[in-house]
Structure 1
């Protein structure tokens, strides 16, 4: 009996030892699996327009937000201005900026930063969330951000805060359809919501026929009041001319008159801003006789330094007691392609007459503006957002990652970690071509001529592993420039995906001793991908390729191109 017991205990002990040893081996195997580590990222903008138009001491550049920051809306509390923009499927949702002088802006991150409340995980890049409005209500000391979300059956939502620097409350779903909402508070504290909507059922006259509606808003329940909706604009400034896409409405009050300003013409070459007035926030609204008050549609297409598609604007009183307006516009490259996306511009507004008019908004726009009196231009310094030509360097040594780094369809925090040598990306089993959150840390393309480089420490283990740089317009239009495996060999490759069809442009077998430096250089429409195994001697991977697939001209949608640090455990790009 004793002998059998001893034998039993010995057997159990041996099995436990064997099991523990196996676990340790597996653990070591996992620990030795090398995830890609990125360091020394440098983004450098080099647009010719800024070289030819250096700033004087009293000037600043417009756009104030370069790259994909469209559909701006702005509000003021005391000396502080807060501005929000569209973000679509980028995460966090609704980027927000703060300024005291309209020139120097601080990036506060994103309003919708809780993925359990806003989750664009399965949306196309041009869905997600767009066209926000932001309004400060002095009657209750509260900021309201209202927006349309195309994910999770959210629809139109509103969030609130007493201080935008300290975060926002949970989204409240609003009981109306349509898009582009904004909220207005009258002198007596009463609230109104205006938005774009379809005409009443059976009354749509043509494609692009839309209406503007207004609702009374219940501040206690944070909800539009049922039955108070009213159409205040049908079609646009002149329905007989079949105007299209009246949208992005904002209500204002000045000298006891109510003003309704809207975009009209669609967010393309016919885009414009128009304005109406009324004695009541619920109309009837009469259009200004000098509409449009902002557009670039009347000028030659081949003009130099072209700014186009201007519209989707918001008005406000500046620190010099003068009115200004922010709005979207584009700066196409030499092929007239829109790669950097729709950006946020600013112009002074002349409101000395009955109706406001954007100063120099009806002539070809210039890149420079006079600053409000007493302002010092600190853009790109002291923590303020840069503009013009600038260099952004990231070594991933700070505990707080710059807000310009974003995720797509999900938080960046789900796949990144700061390690000794830089930023480690823990690859998802998701390809960049899938309609899912990707393990890619993205940065917006902010210039037509730019370079983006990084040092990559990585040794792929299989053909399913890839890491490198991606230039992306959307999941069906992109370039992948990365390191992967073929058999026992390591390769670098460049893959072009156009309308969902992928092609290997170039590939080369490489021997990575330690790190590899990757770089993409764009000069207008031409993008060149290069690499250096010793960090110094760069080699081209193939010839320069066209940036056509990184433009909205080819890919469609509403976003600008993104460039990112990409890793996947579901690679399907195979070297030649």
Structure 2
């Protein structure tokens, strides 16, 4: 049996991890931004092997993402458990300059169903967290601009206020807890409070979620402060390792104690490759923690998140692996599939043609802040192969269907079956360029895409495995946040559109296969 584990523990676009333990079970949630369903929830017995058990926000009544711009929507969530109830609190960011609205939901079973949101009044900022004190009181923490004003760009402070679980609203005074470990590191956010040996510990993310990201810690004898920062701050960062280190922008952590008294931290990080580009977005990592002189020390003797580490001393529990190929034989979509924004309209079906995913063409396109006819999954490997079999007969030049490899609405590749043939479109910064065109007049088509680092290769075929090159060595860097901006990772999926006009046409997908080649 292996004594080590590999990071990330959850690869692909699964950022801002939060974790809680319930006896011998561990539950973890991550951010989802403009994707639906919102907030995937994972389960583990050993902190290393995780299985997705559902999503927290699965109904349109819980999550209305209409018009939400790229990389807005659901920001960092926190999961906690108290007296038989699971709580998830999170921030809904409406737009670049619009409201940041905080809410929480509850469930007796982490697999759901989860309640509709309890929206919190006068609850500013992002990255809300919950803390249940041993005196029965409950508190919310988040960030905000300091009431006396910002002293430098992105200067924020962490605040705390009591939550009344009966009224589902904040009550009492707001307390300012923290506004920077070094009085110069910006973007104070992602606060979590823990009580260890009678002391309150405040964990904070600082430095922004890019290369200068870090985690700092402070402590106090009183939950309302004053908080003393650790002289060892930041207790975790990779900004000193240089831009060629294989794990970057580490930060935004959450602590958990195992049943045998060990401490661990989950945090986000990215794996840059081929020149420092991060197509996979921000992923979830695991790192050990020990307490020395009343302070947490991350990965003692090393102080960084490693690609391979020593496993927790927990009994290993592996879960059945998710098959590489979805033949669309189940009555519901697999959990890894997502929509862009809240799905509107009856545009997909697994029942109309059993064993197929039917996508009806919608007038909406993937280039706008709408809900297009797109069903996709995350890219989780640096090298991968994806393929599908599609049946589609376009009735006019506006009708298209195929695959999309997506960073956002303005940065992606589309391989489309059109009335005149097959084409590969590159969309970069909103500008579109047709990279390749091949004549094709058949109802059935196979698509395949292989990626080796930042080199993407696109193929099509009329018959299985008889591949023809559409275009090879296509630059994948536009699928990274370093080019496209934002906070999400690359997606891929099936797409159909009638480009602005109504249509009764549809495309049938027989399967979708994704294989990591690492």
Fold in common (TM above 0.5): yes
TM-score by length of 1: 0.83
Match of 1:198 in 2: 145
- Asked if 1:104 corresponds to 2:49, the answer is yes
Match of 1:16 in 2: none
Match of 1:503 in 2: 433
Match runs of 1:57-456 below 5 Å: 57-138=2-83, 141-151=84-94, 155-175=101-121, 176-200=123-147, 203-226=149-172, 228-234=173-179, 236-239=180-183, 242-303=184-245, 306-359=246-299, 363=303, 365-373=305-313, 375-376=315-316, 378=318, 381-382=319-320, 392-411=324-343, 414-418=346-350, 419-456=353-390
Displacement of 1:541 after TM fit? Answer: 1.0
Question: 1:300–1:191: structure 2 CA closer, same or farther, 3 Å change rule?
Answer: same
Question: 1:432–1:250: structure 2 CA closer, same or farther, 3 Å change rule?
Answer: same
Displacement of 1:115 after TM fit? Answer: 0.8
> Higher relative contact order at CA 8 Å, sep ≥6: structure 1 or structure 2?
1
TM-score by length of 2: 0.92
Deviations 1:48-104 (A, max 9, x none): xxxxxxxx6233221111111000111122122111100001001111111222122
Match of 1:543 in 2: 472
Displacement of 1:319 after TM fit? Answer: 3.9
- The 8 Å contact of residues 74 and 82 in structure 1, kept in 2 or not, is answered as yes
SS in 2 for 1:351: strand
- The 8 Å contact of residues 344 and 371 in structure 2, kept in 1 or not, is answered as no
Displacement of 1:518 after TM fit? Answer: 0.4
- The 8 Å contact of residues 5 and 48 in structure 2, kept in 1 or not, is answered as yes
SS in 2 for 1:283: coil
- The 8 Å contact of residues 394 and 418 in structure 2, kept in 1 or not, is answered as yes
Q: Which runs of 5+ in 2 are unaligned?
A: 502-518
Question: 1:360–1:162: structure 2 CA closer, same or farther, 3 Å change rule?
Answer: same
Question: 1:423–1:462: structure 2 CA closer, same or farther, 3 Å change rule?
Answer: same
Distance (Å, rounded) in 2 between the aligned partners of 1:395 and 1:360: 46
Displacement of 1:362 after TM fit? Answer: 5.1
Distance (Å, rounded) in 2 between the aligned partners of 1:403 and 1:413: 20
| Aligned with residue 491 of structure 2, among 562, 567, 575 | 562
Aligned length: 495
SS in 1 for 2:419: strand
Displacement of 1:316 after TM fit? Answer: 0.6
The structure in which a higher percent of residues are helix is 1
Question: 1:331–1:238: structure 2 CA closer, same or farther, 3 Å change rule?
Answer: same
- The 8 Å contact of residues 493 and 508 in structure 1, kept in 2 or not, is answered as yes
Larger Rg: 1
Match of 2:515 in 1: none
Distance (Å, rounded) in 1 between the aligned partners of 2:334 and 2:111: 15
Question: 1:145–1:452: structure 2 CA closer, same or farther, 3 Å change rule?
Answer: same
Displacement of 1:364 after TM fit? Answer: 5.5
- The 8 Å contact of residues 406 and 412 in structure 1, kept in 2 or not, is answered as no
SS in 1 for 2:358: strand
Deviations 1:387-408 (A, max 9, x none): xxxx721111122321001111
Distance (Å, rounded) in 2 between the aligned partners of 1:505 and 1:182: 46
Comparing 277-286 with 119-128, which one deviates more in the overlay? Answer: 119-128
- The 8 Å contact of residues 296 and 362 in structure 1, kept in 2 or not, is answered as no
- The 8 Å contact of residues 332 and 338 in structure 1, kept in 2 or not, is answered as yes
- The 8 Å contact of residues 174 and 223 in structure 1, kept in 2 or not, is answered as yes
Distance (Å, rounded) in 2 between the aligned partners of 1:570 and 1:166: 37
Comparing 349-358 with 177-186, which one deviates more in the overlay? Answer: 349-358
Displacement of 1:353 after TM fit? Answer: 3.1
- The 8 Å contact of residues 296 and 363 in structure 1, kept in 2 or not, is answered as no
Displacement of 1:420 after TM fit? Answer: 3.1
Question: 1:455–1:319: structure 2 CA closer, same or farther, 3 Å change rule?
Answer: farther
Displacement of 1:106 after TM fit? Answer: 2.2
Comparing 311-320 with 251-260, which one deviates more in the overlay? Answer: 311-320
Question: 1:320–1:415: structure 2 CA closer, same or farther, 3 Å change rule?
Answer: farther
Q: Which runs of 5+ in 1 are unaligned?
A: 1-55, 386-390
- Asked if 1:517 corresponds to 2:446, the answer is yes
- Structure 1 segments of 4+ aligned residues over 3 angstroms from their partners: 151-154, 360-365, 411-414
Distance (Å, rounded) in 2 between the aligned partners of 1:364 and 1:286: 23
- The 8 Å contact of residues 294 and 361 in structure 1, kept in 2 or not, is answered as no
Question: 1:321–1:188: structure 2 CA closer, same or farther, 3 Å change rule?
Answer: same
- The 8 Å contact of residues 45 and 315 in structure 2, kept in 1 or not, is answered as no
Match of 2:508 in 1: none
Question: 1:142–1:80: structure 2 CA closer, same or farther, 3 Å change rule?
Answer: same
- The 8 Å contact of residues 337 and 548 in structure 1, kept in 2 or not, is answered as yes
- The 8 Å contact of residues 335 and 525 in structure 1, kept in 2 or not, is answered as no
Deviations 1:320-370 (A, max 9, x none): 320000000000121210100000001111124311121169555432222
Displacement of 1:571 after TM fit? Answer: 7.3
- The 8 Å contact of residues 101 and 319 in structure 1, kept in 2 or not, is answered as no
The structure in which a higher percent of residues are strand is 2
Match of 2:511 in 1: none
Displacement of 1:549 after TM fit? Answer: 1.2
